[in-house]
Amino acid sequence: MTEPQIFGTHEPQTLAQLRDVASRAERAALMADGHLGYVMPIGGVAAYRNQVSVVGVGFDIACGNAAIRTDLSPARLGRHLPELADAIQDTISFGVGRKNRAGDAPTDDPLFADAAWDAVPGKHERERLRAKAREQLGTVGSGNHYVDVFADEADHVWVGVHFGSRGFGFGVAHGFLALGQNRAWGERVPEQEALLDVATPVGDAYWQLMNLAGRYAYAGREWVARKVVALLGGRELELVHNHHNFAWQEEHGGERFYVVRKGATPAFPGQKGFVGGSMGDDAVIIQGVASDEPAVRELQARALYSTVHGAGRVMSRTAAAGKRKQGRVIKPGAISRDMMLEWVEQKGVVLRGGGTDESPHVYRRLPDVLAAQGPTVQVLHVLRPLIVVMAGAEEFDPYKD
């Protein structure tokens, strides 16, 4: 094990999680947007030989970001931003949507016939999970998942989305978390480390289903982003798309590893990524730097060619929004809705949905975390938010059903 590469500054608990993960991995790193997670910190990267970490990949397998540059300009959208925000909210299923309610929902995607489905144990569980996945493909969910409309420095309009594999990935993660603890699929078990050897039947089954969840998340994000581009009346010119809760087979230092990135974006030289800020802050299109400088190349290698996936939380959801039980406030939150709306309005953003646990107050500022990543990535475009659409604060999300 080599000493982990750490970007930025972090609280002691986050660093302790990283050290724990690094004790089992061959290499590890922590990005500048890192914060406390389940077993592995968000923003953490770990490389294993012949193993993959179920909790490392996480419960939202293949969560990621996609952005489309369009042929539109902000002037073309004019004063119609509120109406366009309403159309996005009405067309795309956020939070409360148990299924994609659009008439052209991609329920016949070829991925539903993939042989990897056979890795789900038991016909009943397999068909139940496949049916849920079919209904939810192209739905966004809740929490920090969103659909945004941006303008870049050259007045190009972009559409950006952030979400993952929904109930499908959640079911796979929990199923293999149980199997990894010698329990039955579907049993509730503690959220503890489960390193699966990919050469074993259970490890290979997880690997196949994790990759299928990756295809599922890609299909969902691209459907949503393209649907929104069509709602805006635009045409797609460029797509930038990455997972940030996933595992890849990669070569590092002449060796093959299974590299888990939990809330971290792959950023090999020349590879583009879309990184969001918060509902009231700029986002960016970045690219891994192609450098001849040995120091830069060494830093990229120590980072396992990874970078941030967002701005990174500095306040927990409970601390921000407080606690409620049966509609009563048990503990008030640090962030009021008025505080959140004032921030967003000052930025000129049209907001639909969103809870105080996702207010810009609870996040770092994206330029700061990018600066802490040093010369490993470069910013290609700065995206100013025009429209932000998220699930409402009180909306039920069937993601965990």
Three-state secondary-structure class, residue 77 = helix
What is the reported pLDDT for 400?
Answer: 38
pLDDT in tens, 310-325: 998 888 878 887 776 6
pLDDT in tens, 261-283: 999 999 999 999 999 998 889 99
Nearest CA-CA partner of 301 in 274, 325, 269: 269
What is the reported pLDDT for 101?
Answer: 80
Tell me if 263 sits within 8 A of 33, measured CB to CB.
Answer: yes
What is the reported pLDDT for 326?
Answer: 61
What is the reported pLDDT for 1?
Answer: 64
Three-state secondary-structure class, residue 15 = helix
CB-based burial, 120-134: b 16+ in 10 Å, e otherwise: beeeeeeeebbebbb
pLDDT in tens, 38-92: 899 999 999 999 999 999 999 999 999 999 999 999 999 988 999 999 999 999 9
The answer, yes or no, to whether residue 399 has pLDDT greater than 70, is no
What is the reported pLDDT for 166?
Answer: 93
Which range, 89-98, 102-111, 162-171, is most confident? 162-171
Residue 199 CA to residue 258 CA, distance in Å, equals 12
Tell me the HSE value of 263 on the side-chain side, using a 13 A CA sphere. 22
What is the reported pLDDT for 327?
Answer: 64
Three-state secondary-structure class, residue 296 = helix
Nearest CA-CA partner of 397 in 143, 114, 92: 143
Question: Can you tell me the mean pLDDT for 97-121?
Answer: 88
Tell me if 393 sits within 8 A of 96, measured CB to CB.
Answer: no
DSSP string, 341-375: HHHHHHTT-EEEEE-GGGSGGGB--HHHHHHHTGG
Lowest mean pLDDT among 95-109, 124-138, 180-194, 242-256: 95-109
Three-state DSSP string of 244-267: CEEEEEEEECCEEEEEEEECEEEC
pTM for this prediction: 0.93
Tell me if 45 sits within 8 A of 29, measured CB to CB.
Answer: yes
255-262: strand order across its sheet: 5-6, 27-35, 42-48, 255-262, 245-252
The answer, yes or no, to whether residue 220 has pLDDT greater than 70, is yes
Residue 210 CA to residue 7 CA, distance in Å, equals 28
For the chain, the domains span 5-394
- Please give the DSSP secondary-structure letter assigned to residue 11: -
What is the reported pLDDT for 196?
Answer: 97
The overall average pLDDT reported for the chain is 92
How would you classify residue 58: left for phi > 0, otherwise alpha for psi between -120 and 50, otherwise beta? left
Nearest CA-CA partner of 273 in 245, 244, 302, 249: 244
Question: Can you tell me the mean pLDDT for 124-144?
Answer: 93
Three-state secondary-structure class, residue 157 = strand
Fold of 5-394: tRNA-splicing ligase RtcB (3.90.1860)
Nearest CA-CA partner of 45 in 224, 366, 306, 236: 306
